[in-house]
């Protein structure tokens, strides 16, 4: 089994890639957008998939990997899809109402057309199934938590799993159960993870992707009484609170813009809101690096990945500055160099490494799809 067709389905889009899992060759990739919207010409996900298959090169498809955001407590690894698995994914829709239903629509469309190959669901939450009970559970009424499935799940699992594996290779410690990594997936959505020996020990996102780091438009950690106060004293509805915390907060809320390059340029030009937003952003990053150093009992490497993590030398420099007591430091020339390859940004001989590893979620989904289909 070599060629895996990877599907990442949104409510009005399908992002796809057909790749050779052996050598990473991409045979075809693209995106279909505005599915089901007026004037798009693509009525639904079934028609969109037909369009995609018409555009793919004549390469045999050996398996289909579906990115599914939420696996709940049921799915802790990539899973071959049958009708029962479909029903269970559907039952998890309340935990990820914006993501699981379109993912399921993609599964149904693809299974109806590609009937002779295995289909595998790869879950963002699965990598974090190993987090400790102390990190997993919130301090609320245990019966309420159990009945309503409130707990930390974590996200970005395929990305964090991929870069953790590449980091171990880069460090020459592929099978070391004691390898201690802090992985920072920094994009518009952002999360941190403590990874011990390739297994997630803790992660910053919680029951939803709202918890944790400051993000492009999401608040990250706040006092949980703030939404109650806004509702009680200022009349905010549930919908308005959702909009505020998920779409109008984070860097956008602090500075009126969420693009990191624009923020850094504005801060360098003396914009006080941009400077303050970056201060808050970096403060939260350093908070989690320190917390995870305590949980791991030290750090062997900090790994930066995703759009901001891979491309912002400013964020990397400020996040690591002053952490020499943890063995961490930055080499300015290495940090400022541009490359799409996994690389060190720390000086030679540093007690702990600082790495930049471009993520490849499609390749990780393809790899997990092959493993699941071969079990």
- C-alpha count within 13 angstroms, C-beta hemisphere, residue 364: 23
Share of the chain above pLDDT 70, in %: 100
Say if residues 129 and 160 touch (Cβ distance below 8 Å): no
Angle in degrees, CA 206, 212, 216, rounded to 5: 120
Q: What is the pLDDT of residue 333?
A: 96
Res. 355 pLDDT band, cuts 50 70 90:
very high
Tell me what the mean pLDDT of segment 345-355 comes to: 97
Burial of 367 (0-12, 13-18, 19+ CB in 10 A): buried
Q: What is the pLDDT of residue 98?
A: 83
Q: What is the pLDDT of residue 211?
A: 97
Strand partners of residue 80 = 120
Res. 248 pLDDT band, cuts 50 70 90:
very high
Of 165, 198, 178, 192, give the one whose Cα is nearest residue 296. Answer: 178
Question: Residue 120 to residues 28, 92, 236: CA-CA distances in angstroms?
Answer: 19, 17, 41
Token output for 287: 């908070």
Mean residue pLDDT of the chain comes to: 95
Rounded-to-integer distance, Cα 356 and Cα 346, Å: 10
Tell me what the mean pLDDT of segment 310-337 comes to: 97
Share of the chain above pLDDT 90, in %: 90
Q: What is the pLDDT of residue 114?
A: 94
Of 77, 69, 146, give the one whose Cα is nearest residue 101. Answer: 69
**What are the tens digits of pLDDT across the range 61-70?**
999 999 999 9
**What are the tens digits of pLDDT across the range 166-187?**
999 999 999 999 999 999 999 9
Residues in the chain: 375
Domains of the chain: 3-123 (3.30.420.40), 172-361 (3.30.420.40)
Q: What is the pLDDT of residue 41?
A: 82
Rounded-to-integer distance, Cα 27 and Cα 122, Å: 21
Q: What is the pLDDT of residue 42?
A: 86
Q: What is the pLDDT of residue 135?
A: 96
Per DSSP, the three-state class of 372 is helix
The dihedrals phi and psi of 191, each to the nearest 5 degrees, come to -150, 155
DSSP, res 146? H
Q: Which residue has the tokens 């106060």?
A: 229
Give the Cβ contact number of residue 51 at 10 Å: 14
Say if residues 292 and 202 touch (Cβ distance below 8 Å): yes
Question: Residue 36 to residues 53, 141, 170: CA-CA distances in angstroms?
Answer: 18, 42, 44
**What are the tens digits of pLDDT across the range 1-41?**
899 999 999 888 899 999 999 999 999 999 998 888 887 78
Given a cut of 90, whether residue 317 has pLDDT beyond it is: yes
Tell me what the mean pLDDT of segment 206-210 comes to: 94
Rounded-to-integer distance, Cα 225 and Cα 241, Å: 12
DSSP, res 36? T
pTM > 0.85: yes or no: yes
With b for 16 or more beta-carbon neighbours within 10 A and e for fewer, the 216-246 pattern comes to bbbbbeeeeeebeebeeeeebeeeeeeebbb
Given a cut of 90, whether residue 349 has pLDDT beyond it is: yes
Rounded-to-integer distance, Cα 345 and Cα 355, Å: 6
Residues that are catalytic: 124
Q: What is the pLDDT of residue 126?
A: 96
Q: What is the pLDDT of residue 10?
A: 87
């Amino acid at each position: 089994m070599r060629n895996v067709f990877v599907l990442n389905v949104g409510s009005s889009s399908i992002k796809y890639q057909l790749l050779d899992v052996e050598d990473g060759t991409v045979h075809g990739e693209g995106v279909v957008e505005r599915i089901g919207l007026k004037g798009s010409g693509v009525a639904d996900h079934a028609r969109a998939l037909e369009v995609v298959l018409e555009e793919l090169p004549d390469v045999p498809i050996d398996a289909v990997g579906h990115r599914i955001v939420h696996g709940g407590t049921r799915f802790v690894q990539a899973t071959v899809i049958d009708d029962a698995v479909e029903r269970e994914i559907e039952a998890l829709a309340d935990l990820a109402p914006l993501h699981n239903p379109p993912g399921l629509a993609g599964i149904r469309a693809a299974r109806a057309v590609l009937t002779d190959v295995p289909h595998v669901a790869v879950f963002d939450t699965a990598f974090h199934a190993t987090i400790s009970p102390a990190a997993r559970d919130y301090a609320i009424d245990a019966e309420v938590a159990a009945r309503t499935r409130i707990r930390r799940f974590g996200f970005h699992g395929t990305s964090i799993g991929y870069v953790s594996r590449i980091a171990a290779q880069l460090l020459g410690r592929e099978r070391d159960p004691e390898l201690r990594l802090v992985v920072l997936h920094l994009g518009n959505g952002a999360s941190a993870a403590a990874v011990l020996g390739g297994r997630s020990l803790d992660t910053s996102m919680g029951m939803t992707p709202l918890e944790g780091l400051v993000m492009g438009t999401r608040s990250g950690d706040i006092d949980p009484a703030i939404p109650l106060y806004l509702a009680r004293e200022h009349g905010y509805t549930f919908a308005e609170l959702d909009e505020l915390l998920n779409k109008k907060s984070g860097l956008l809320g602090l500075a009126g813009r969420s693009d990191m390059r624009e923020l850094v340029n504005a801060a360098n030009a003396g914009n006080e809101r941009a400077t303050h937003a970056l201060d808050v952003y970096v403060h939260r990053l350093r908070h989690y690096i320190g917390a995870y150093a305590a949980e791991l009992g030290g750090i062997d490497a900090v790994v930066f990945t995703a759009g901001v993590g891979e491309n912002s030398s400013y964020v990397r420099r400020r996040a690591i500055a002053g952490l020499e007591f943890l063995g961490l430091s930055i080499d300015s020339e290495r940090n400022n160099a541009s490359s799409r390859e996994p690389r060190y940004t720390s000086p030679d001989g540093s007690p702990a490494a600082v790495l930049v590893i471009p993520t490849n979620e499609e390749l990780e989904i393809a790899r997990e799809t092959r493993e699941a289909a071969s079990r």
